[in-house]
Structures are given as C-alpha cells and as structure tokens.
Structure 1
Amino acid sequence: MTGLRVAVIGAGIGGLSAAIALRANGIDATVYEQAHELKALGAGVAIATNGSRVLNHLGVGDALAKVAGPVTHYRFRTWQAEPIAGEPSTLSFGDPARTWFLHRGEFQQVLADALPSDALRLGRACVGATEHTDGVRVEFADGTPVDADLLIGADGIHSRLQGKVSTPTEPVSEGIMAYRGLIPAGRVDGIADMRASSMWLGPRQSFLAYPVSAGRLLNIVAFVPTNLNVAESWTAPGDVTELAAAYRGWDPQVSAIIDAMDSTFRWGIYDREPLDRWSSERITLLGDSAHAVTPHLGQGANQAIEDAMTLAVLLRGAQPDELPERLRRYENLRMTRTGQVRSQARAAGRIYRSTELAPRAQAEQLQAILDSVAINTYDAQQVAETALVTA
C-alpha cells in the first residue's frame, strides 16, 4: 500500500467496490458504514457487462456468478403479451452471458468478504467532515474522528457529504413508484420463465421479472404512476391487493406472478439534476451521491462500479498534494458519461410507459438508447488508464 489514506463513507455497492478497487491499486482504503450489520435487503440488481468487466478484474466475478440468477435470454412484451423484438429478444440490458442478476444483499456480502476485516467498520455514522491543509478529518456520531488524505462520499441519494463539494440538488420524481418483491421459485413453477429477464410494457406502467439467488427467487419490479411522495426506500411496505389491481387486464402471466406474492414493498423512483462539481480538494463523491439515476436501464449500480474503478486507477501512485488534480480528472471523465446515462434512462422509462408508440417503434427507440450508452463495450478501467497517461 502507498502512504495515501482514503476513507469511504457508505458500504453500498459503490463504496465497497471503491475500496476493493483502491486497494487493488495499492491505496489504503477503509469503508465506514452507519449500519451495525449488513442486512440482506430484498431487492434485485442487474450487473451488466460494463460492471461485470470491472468486478471480474477485481477478482470477485466467480463468487458473484455462483449467486446470480441463471438468465440466458431477454423477453420484451407488450402488456397484452405481444413480443416487441422477437423471442428471445434482440433487445437486451447487456449480454446475458456477461450479466449477473443478483440479490442485493448477497451481492453486498460478496463485496464485503473481498475486503480485509479491518477495512470495513460498521456502526460508524458520519456526521460531518472538515478539510484542512494536510487532509480531511471525518467526524462520526460516536465522537471518534478519523483523519484521512481523501474522503469519498458513497452515501447515496440523500448524501450528507454532497453539500461539502457542491450546492446540493433535491431528488426529482418522474411521477413513478415501483412495487418490489421476491417470490420463491417453487411458487412460480410453470408460470415464470426462470431463465429469462422478462419485461412487459404498457400504457403508463411496466412490469419486470428476473431470477436471483442462483434461481431460488424471482425478483419483481412493477412500475406504476403515482402522485404521492413515496419514500426512496427498499423497505416501505406495500399492498399486494393494490398491486394486483394495477395490473388487472394485463397478460395473464403477469397476474399469475402477482398472485404468487405474499408481500411487497414500495420504492420511490427519483434521480437528481446534475451537480456543478463532484469534488473539493480532499473530498469527492461516487455513485448516487454524485449522480442518482432512474433504474430504467439497470445502470445505477453499474455506474457506481464504473466510478469506483475510474477513481482507483486515477489515484494510483498519487501523492497527497496531487489529489486535487487527480480528482479533477475523475470528475471530467465521469460527469459526461453519467449525465448521458441519466438522460437516456429517463427516456427509456418514457418509452416503456408510452401510450402512443407502436411495439416496433418502442423496440427501435430502445435499441438506439441501449446502443448509445455502450453497455457491452464501455471499459471504465481502460478509459481511466488512457486518461492517466495522456493528461
């Protein structure tokens, strides 16, 4: 390890990935998480090729593949069960052979296990940070401070650290919420295709299902309109009866999947307007703290993983006095990329829920969006390596 000391706030996907990537590049990084334990929250997450490429390089690919859902193909259908791009679909959120469909809790645990035990500190709630000439002092609720050369805020859409580097922006709703849930595979035997990521597109709403936990569970995400201020949370309780009513008249397969659910929870869908900057001299942001994105391209976690690798490569070999310039490079590389993904994710959501587009037009427009964000070809490490030697 170099003499550089990095404190990462938040043990989500982005924070843990950042610590692993930093340590792989010779930098001493420690993650501080306010929770006293890493709970297996009931939510699925898809790690596409742009994310899996990074995680394979960091040595956690085999462990993640073991707990991934066995997806071999995609299905995109209208709400009345008409295929919009053939079956198996010519559309995809990433090459299924290189995409992992994961239970978030299992994913988080694999990443945590890849760190030395002393590199993850639980029960440490960050309450502030003060920059000074030689670094940054991080303040915690327990009264015990930590001094570091660099502080990375990976503390989510409601980031406490965002205001340290930029004028905070408020979460923005697109008038959509999601019902989420997990169903044991045995309850949807003969109903759901447990080797597919399946999406149904309908007027003003959509429905997504894919297997996680090595095929033991089916993950459900049902996007519906709302004029309520729904919490940006994976644990707010929902009502299965209300969910079923929202999809009455849809493809009978959708109704049968909902009938197999015992419980659901509600998830408010938000992103943020882009920040003017992500970094100060000794503090920077990563993932949703910097660029929250709606989930319609499955790119939220993937963009945080790209951030993690980009930042780690750009900090390789840096001395403390070089940090401000290295952070500028990181910001310059990532702001354009994540801004494009945010705008295209919103556009994809509008196409899914269109009341006007014919299925063929939906397929064509979605393909153009997927091509534009280069899910299968973007290589965050290579982009950062090139920037490191050419700047």
Structure 2
Amino acid sequence: MKPKAVVVGGSIAGVSCAHTLILAGWDVVVLEKTCEPIKGSPTGAGLGLDPLAQRLIQSWLDDPELLYSSTLPLTIDMTTKGLQNQNAVSSRANITLRIFVCKQNQATDSEKKVSWTLTRDDNFNFRAAHWADLHGLLYNALPPNILLWGHLFLCFCISEDKTSVKIKAKVLETDEEIEIVGNLLVAADGSLSSIRQSFLPGLKLRYSGYCAWRGVFDFSGNENSETVVDIRSSYPELGKCFYFDLGSETHSVFYELPNKRLNWIWYVNQPEPELKRNSVTMKVRSEMIQKMHREAEKVWIPEFVRVIRETKDPFLNLIYDTDPLEQIFWDNVVLVGDAAHPTTPHGARSTNMSVLDAAVLGKCLEKNGVENLQAALREYQTTRLPVVSKQVLHARRMGRIKQGLVLPDHEAFDPKNSRSEDYQEVQQKNMPFFDDVPLLLI
C-alpha cells in the first residue's frame, strides 16, 4: 500500500506539498478549515514568484503556460529618491525613496515633477501573481477529493512505535468529529501553527514594530480614468516593475497584478495592536480607514494617495516573525511554509520558501521511502533550515532599515542623510541564497 500523508492547511504551502508528495508516490489528504474553494481572499493580495518557484509550479501543472498567462513580469528592481507630497504638513522628513523591483531605485521630486535613479537591476526575473489566482492554479491541478474543505484540525497523536500518526478533525458542516491515520503529518497551518505549538509551547511570534496597510485597486473597466493615467505617469514601469518608496520611518510597495489590478502595501511604525482572534490580519473599521487616508496625504504623492483612497476593503496586517527554529520535524511530524519559518515580507520570500519547502520535502521522501522516513525528514531539515534561517534574519534586517528602526550595527535610516550603500543593502538580490537551487532538485 502507498504511504499516506495528512497535510493540515490548504493554503499555497499545503497544496504545494500535496503536489510533491503525490509525485513522490504518496496518498495525500489535505485538511482545510475554509468551507469552500477560495475565489478571492481578503488577506491574500499580491506576491512575487522567483524563477525557481516558477519552474517548480510549472512542473506541477498540466499546462505550464497557465502560470505565465495568470502572472505579470517583475523584471526590474529599482529605488528612487525625491520629495513627498508638497502640500503635506508632517513631522516626517520631506524626502522619500522609491525602489522598483524591476528592480530600479529612482528619485522623484513631487514639487518639480522630476525623478532620478539610485539603483537599478534589470535581471530581477520575478513574476507578480494574486494570491487567489495562484492558489486556484495549484488547487485545480490536484486530483479530485484530495482537499477536504470545511475540516477543522483539532489534535493529533503519534503511535508508540512512531510509525503512524492519528489526526482528529471536525467537519464544520455537521459538527462530526473524524479521525484519519497516516504515516506522516505535514503542518502547513501558517505562522500561528497549532501543530508547532505542540512541540514548542513557549515559542512566541516577535512583533516587528510596524503594521502594513494593504489593498488591491481594481481598475478593470476604468483603464483610462484620471487616477490610472496619473499613476502610470508617476510609476512608468508598472506592469514589469516592483516599486519600493522609502520615506522617513516608513516605506511602501507598489506593483501591477494581472486583470487590471494594482497591489499596494504601506508599512507604518506603531505599537503592537491587541488581536482579538487567532490571526495576524486585523479587522478594520471605517474610521481607521479614514484616518489612514489622512495620514497617507502627509506622506505620499497625490497620485498614489488617490489609488489608496479608491481601493475597496483595504486591510491591516500585523508584521511578525520568529528567531530561526532549531528543528522543523519531530518523529513523523514536519513543518513547512510559515509554520516552519514565520518571516517578515521584505525579502519577497514567504511564498517562494513555501514552494521550495514542498519541493525539497517531496524529493527527500521519494529518495528515502517510507521505510526510511526519519532519514528523509532529517535530510529535509538539513537542506532547508540553514537557508530559511538566514533568509528570515535578512528579511528582518531589511524591514528595520526601511522603517528607520534601530539596528546594533546600523544607524537608523534617514532619507535626508542616506548613502548609496544604504540603497544597495536593501536590494532583493542581496538576500542570502537568492539564486540557490538545492542539489536535490538539480
């Protein structure tokens, strides 16, 4: 009989694992508490796929071209410097920096309407996707009945001989509790992983010191509106570039998504809000959104502010990570994705790390077989842990620099006194293992 894996969590990490474990010869069932296939997501906005993640995802699809038809190129990495909204009255310095992940660094003076480039990398070669679009591609390419919607994970227990694991879940539609027995439990249940907590009860997420306002501006049917025409004039590389605008103690991210959408993120330093539910996404009220709009006018150029104002249902993410874990498997339970390495988003790594986790785990299981499960999980841990640990810490450092926060070996970043080294340091290509391909996948 085929070995069986139970994956808890049906997000991108979970469905990626389903693909790779099936390819490795395993039976797979995925438990997801959401009650139906995801057509959109209030917490899933834009993401960037690196070349390796693109290649892996294509290998899991019946039609590899589907990935390219549902994404846009991000071929430039750019940074810019210039004056912020000239009409703003703010205690912030009147300078912002723009970094494009095409990736180019360019400066813009919003008063004189001129800009200049600080750094630029034309070989970025990422692609922009909407979370729901990518999830739909991966889910639709799975065999039927692999993913069990509306199944809430409750608990698990490992057999005395360590050869099997029993998972208990609740079917939300009926309140029935069911048990599933497998050879392997894969925890793809996110940064607040309850499975990880079973082994590391004292582990707490580390609040970064800032939150992120996020939104997707849909301009379909309004391609020639004043807002769209003006924003394309201010951000001329939209559709192939990942823009970072850096200001005093703040920064934003801006790029285009397929199907006439613009994705934006604005990071704001603030004390840690109190969460009232098990989520790093905070429910926002209309007065919070209105206050955010007023603050945006003090910081960003009018064209960008208009996009923010016209975005429906913006939401607020609290930004967390953890210090790198010392291990990511116990017996026949293994962590993948954000459960294994909660990270801040500044290295554009979270989804890419999840896809690569899944690929490496599948290859380790295929290579060693279920009879050598411990050896397979040990190889997975040995391969991934050094990489993700350095990437998590580097993303943390990038975020603190961009937000003007203190670092032991780095003065607080200030656009008024910034140096060329500062711009170079926050380029994506400086991420550890940026172009690395594990030997297992070659």
Structure-1-length-normalised TM-score: 0.88
Deviates more, 1:41-50 or 1:340-349: 41-50
Paired residue type of 2:267:
F
Q: Secondary structure at the match of 1:246?
A: helix
String of CA shifts for 1:296-346, please: whole Å, max 9, x gaps. Answer: 111111111111101000000544331112111111111111110111001
Q: Secondary structure at the match of 1:189?
A: helix
Alignment partner, residue 113 of structure 1: 140
String of CA shifts for 1:346-373, please: whole Å, max 9, x gaps. Answer: 1111222234351523222124x63342
Paired residue type of 2:148:
R
Gaps of 5+ in 1: 387-391
Q: Secondary structure at the match of 2:52?
A: helix
Contact 1:138–1:146 (8 Å) recurs in 2:
yes
Alignment partner, residue 366 of structure 1: 426
Hey, what's the Cα distance between the residues in 2 that align with 1:227 and 1:235? 14
- Residue 379 in structure 1 maps to residue 437 in structure 2: yes
Alignment partner, residue 165 of structure 2: 136
Contact 2:81–2:118 (8 Å) recurs in 1:
no
Q: Which runs of structure 2 are paired with 1:4-153 in the superposition (5 Å)?
A: 4-39=3-38, 40-42=40-42, 43-59=45-61, 61-78=64-81, 80=83, 85-86=105-106, 90-91=119-120, 95-97=123-125, 99-132=126-159, 133=161, 134-141=163-170, 142-153=176-187
Query: How far 1:70 moved relative to its partner?
Result: 4.9
Query: How far 1:69 moved relative to its partner?
Result: 3.3
Q: Cα–Cα, structure 1 residues 379 and 61, in superposed 2: closer, same or farther, change >3 Å?
A: farther
1:267 corresponds, among 303, 307, 317, to 317
Gaps of 5+ in 2: 84-95, 100-104, 107-115, 171-175, 233-237, 405-412
Hey, what's the Cα distance between the residues in 2 that align with 1:41 and 1:344? 28
Hey, what's the Cα distance between the residues in 2 that align with 1:104 and 1:13? 8
Q: Secondary structure at the match of 2:151?
A: coil
Hey, what's the Cα distance between the residues in 2 that align with 1:79 and 1:35? 44
Q: Which runs of structure 2 are paired with 1:131-210 in the superposition (5 Å)?
A: 131-132=158-159, 133=161, 134-141=163-170, 142-185=176-219, 186=222, 188-193=227-232, 194-195=238-239, 196-210=241-255
Deviates more, 1:52-61 or 1:276-285: 52-61
Hey, what's the Cα distance between the residues in 1 that align with 2:208 and 2:269? 9
Superposed CA RMSD: 2.4
Paired residue type of 1:62:
E
Query: How far 1:95 moved relative to its partner?
Result: 4.6
- Residue 237 in structure 1 maps to residue 314 in structure 2: no
Q: Secondary structure at the match of 1:207?
A: strand
Paired residue type of 1:104:
W
Q: Cα–Cα, structure 1 residues 83 and 272, in superposed 2: closer, same or farther, change >3 Å?
A: closer
1:222 corresponds, among 240, 261, 266, to 266
String of CA shifts for 1:190-218, please: whole Å, max 9, x gaps. Answer: 13343132210011111111112x24111
Structure label with greater radius of gyration: 2
Paired residue type of 1:170:
K
Hey, what's the Cα distance between the residues in 2 that align with 1:219 and 1:17? 24
Paired residue type of 2:157:
T
String of CA shifts for 1:58-113, please: whole Å, max 9, x gaps. Answer: 23642222221354534422462655635788546x9554x221111111111110
Q: Which runs of structure 2 are paired with 1:198-347 in the superposition (5 Å)?
A: 198-212=243-257, 214-229=258-273, 231=275, 232-234=279-281, 236-237=283-284, 239-247=288-296, 248-347=298-397
Deviates more, 1:318-327 or 1:350-359: 350-359
Query: How far 1:275 moved relative to its partner?
Result: 2.3
Hey, what's the Cα distance between the residues in 2 that align with 1:168 and 1:22? 31
Q: Which has the higher helix share?
A: 1
Q: Cα–Cα, structure 1 residues 319 and 71, in superposed 2: closer, same or farther, change >3 Å?
A: closer
Contact 2:98–2:244 (8 Å) recurs in 1:
no
Contact 1:166–1:276 (8 Å) recurs in 2:
no
Higher relative contact order (CA 8 A, sep 6+): 1
Contact 2:369–2:376 (8 Å) recurs in 1:
no
Deviates more, 1:116-125 or 1:247-256: 247-256
Structure-2-length-normalised TM-score: 0.79
Paired residue type of 2:436:
Y
String of CA shifts for 1:97-147, please: whole Å, max 9, x gaps. Answer: 4x2211111111111101011211111111111111231111112321001
Deviates more, 1:273-282 or 1:61-70: 61-70
